[in-house]
């Protein structure tokens, strides 16, 4: 028997090292002993004789070292347990390991859900919370039942503001003296509901101008994001950046919200009609996007 033939019997390449040969031989010994334990003629016995001869040719009669589990590959570990402890025990160990991994995954997922969502999740929450459920995960959500006292009154002046805008300059309420104005607050640029609302105002902008109204959009996004949003959807009106939510607080739209048991502060989607003197004509709070701009246009045409 030559080395190549001996290695072939052990199922190893011809250049296998001593440690590799010893690990393979030990696994075969354990399998052979398990077969011997069944008080039946073992079909593996004549085969094992050839295995034994192959090992002696390659290693000699030096004492066999028990392999360290850290030295074995995952496949060799599985074979080691399968041959040494039987199918039932091995499957039980694999099942316990899988259950442990599942529990760890559930724990980590729970921690992620309980912590502050990342920017992408916040964007989705901001745009979809008005619909009352989280479409992405199929988890129902609760609307906030707490309402901030509305400070604005019809016929009274709306709060003054001066904010950076998508136009590359600050925009103030005084810039629109002598003009009627539509101010709409929305939660987040580039999100589905907010994009639909912006495009609705874009499409209705000529008719609103005919009725004598200019349009301004406001959110807590920065100017850079506003610029991308405006360019992508060809919005013909400026977007104001209220990053410190001062204007949102002044109009009473920065409120506490609830979603899946989590409370957070955010913009409540709202729209305000303002006359030439800066007084409030009409307001819509906590609105739904569908058909909202048509309602605003109908009201604008009456004033």
Instruction: Kindly list the catalytic residues.
Output: 194
Run of H or E residues at 42: none
Cα–Cα distance list, 212 to 92, 96, 137, 260 (Å) = 76, 71, 43, 42
71 and 62 in contact (C-beta within 8 Å)? no
């607050």: which residue's tokens? Answer: 185
Structure tokens at 274: 């303002």
Ordered strands of the 213-219 beta sheet: 239-241, 213-219, 180-185, 270-274, 280-285
**Of 180, 134, 193, 159, the residue nearest 274 (C-alpha):** 180
Q: For the purposes of burial, counting CB atoms within 10 Å of the CB of 133, is it exposed (0-12), middle (13-18) or buried (19 or more)? A: middle
Cα–Cα distance list, 92 to 89, 95, 234 (Å) = 5, 5, 61
Per DSSP bridges, beta strands 180-185 and 213-219 are parallel
């410190």: which residue's tokens? Answer: 244
Whole-number Å distance between alpha carbons of 214 and 205: 8
Write b or e for each residue in 111-132: b if 16 or more Cβ atoms lie within 10 A of its Cβ, otherwise e. eeeeeeeeeeebbbbbbbbbee
Q: Which residues pair with 299 in a beta bridge?
A: none
Longest dimension (CA), the chain: 106
Q: Which residues pair with 180 in a beta bridge?
A: 213
Helices (H) and strands (E) in the chain, counts: 9, 11
């Amino acid at each position: 028997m030559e080395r190549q033939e001996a290695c072939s019997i052990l199922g190893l390449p011809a250049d296998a090292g001593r440690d590799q040969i010893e690990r393979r031989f030990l696994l075969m010994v354990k399998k052979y002993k398990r077969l011997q334990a069944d008080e039946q003629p073992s079909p593996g016995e004549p085969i094992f004789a050839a295995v034994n001869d192959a090992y002696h040719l390659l290693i000699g009669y030096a004492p066999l070292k028990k392999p360290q589990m850290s030295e074995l590959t995952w496949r060799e570990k599985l074979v080691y347990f399968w041959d040494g402890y039987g199918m039932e025990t091995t499957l039980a160990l694999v099942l316990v390991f899988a259950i442990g991994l599942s529990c760890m995954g559930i724990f980590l997922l729970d921690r992620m859900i309980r912590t502050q969502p990342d920017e992408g999740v916040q964007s989705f929450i901001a745009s979809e919370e008005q619909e009352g459920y989280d479409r992405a995960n199929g988890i129902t959500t609760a609307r906030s039942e707490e309402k901030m006292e509305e400070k604005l009154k019809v016929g009274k002046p709306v709060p003054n503001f001066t904010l950076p805008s998508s136009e590359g300059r600050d925009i103030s309420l005084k810039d629109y003296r002598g003009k009627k104005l539509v101010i709409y607050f929305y939660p987040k640029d580039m999100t589905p509901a907010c994009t639909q609302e912006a495009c609705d105002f874009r499409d209705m902008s000529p008719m609103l101008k005919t009725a004598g109204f200019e349009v301004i959009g406001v959110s807590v996004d920065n100017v850079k994001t506003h610029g991308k949003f405006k360019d992508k959807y060809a919005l013909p009106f400026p977007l104001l950046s209220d990053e410190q939510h001062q204007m949102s607080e002044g109009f009473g739209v920065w409120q506490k919200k609830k979603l899946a048991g989590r409370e957070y502060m955010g913009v409540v989607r709202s729209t305000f009609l303002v006359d030439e003197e800066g007084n409030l004509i009409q307001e819509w709070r906590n609105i739904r996007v569908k058909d909202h701009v048509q309602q605003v246009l109908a009201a604008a045409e009456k004033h």
